[in-house]
Amino acid sequence: MFLTLGWLALTYFIGSIPFGLFISRIVCGVDPRTAGSRNTGATNVARLCGTRYGVAVLALDLLKGLLPVWAATTFSDNWVFLSLCALAAIVGHMHSCFLGLSGGKGFATSIGAFLALAFGQTLFAVILTLLTIKVTGYVSMGALFFGAAMPVLLLLTAEWGFILAALAMAVLLYWKHSENIGRLARGEEKSWKKS
């Protein structure tokens, strides 16, 4: 029990690390929470500081979902515990203890967490997500597609244990992207092709 709770707390803590804020401040002296889209995620950092720094944030945010969840799989095969680990990392990113429980939108961290749980399904979802972003021009559309695709792919491949976690992740992603959904509906969302 103590190991379980301790690992969940550690996973949340790792998920809370605001790499986008750190990199933006160090590299270009900008607080991404008050500039651009006012988000600490990779897309905003790329717009504010340059593509290579956005890619660095993307990789780090992905890894903070991947590494603690993957490590949990090395000592537990309990699907409830592993699902909670994935959600702890995602919630940590979205509600960081370093940022007064505010944070990013959780897209990259969700990808990382689910790569550790269901590698093949997540990789396929990421490929389809990248195609969605390329075709539509909207990173937010890709995030929304990923959230919708993961529960479906897990269902189709009979990976029953992680479907509830994927549904919870999808709800969190859609909730954090509610403003993007509104802008998409109004035709006001900014395309990455124009950034």
Confidence of residue 167 (pLDDT cuts 50, 70, 90): very high
Burial class (CB in 10 A: 0-12, 13-18, 19+), 101: exposed
What pLDDT does 188 receive? 84
Confidence of residue 4 (pLDDT cuts 50, 70, 90): confident
Longest CA–CA separation in the chain, Å: 50
Which pLDDT tens digit goes with each residue over 78-130? Answer: 999 999 999 999 999 999 999 999 889 999 999 999 999 999 999 999 999 99
Helices marked H in 30-158 — which ranges?
Answer: 42-49, 51-73, 79-94, 107-117, 119-136, 139-156
Report the alpha-carbon angle 62-44-39, nearest 5. Answer: 85
What pLDDT does 6 receive? 94
- 194 by DSSP, 3-state: which? helix
Distance CA 1, CA 125 (A): 33
**Residue 119 contacts residue 138 (beta carbons within 8 Å):** no
Which pLDDT tens digit goes with each residue over 128-158? Answer: 999 999 999 898 999 999 999 999 999 999 9
What pLDDT does 195 receive? 47
Confidence of residue 47 (pLDDT cuts 50, 70, 90): confident
What pLDDT does 52 receive? 93
Which pLDDT tens digit goes with each residue over 14-39? Answer: 999 999 999 999 999 899 888 877 88
- What average pLDDT does the segment 184-193 reach? 82
How close are the terminal C-alpha atoms of the chain, in Å? 48
Q: What is the mean pLDDT of the chain?
A: 93
Q: How many residues does the chain have?
A: 195
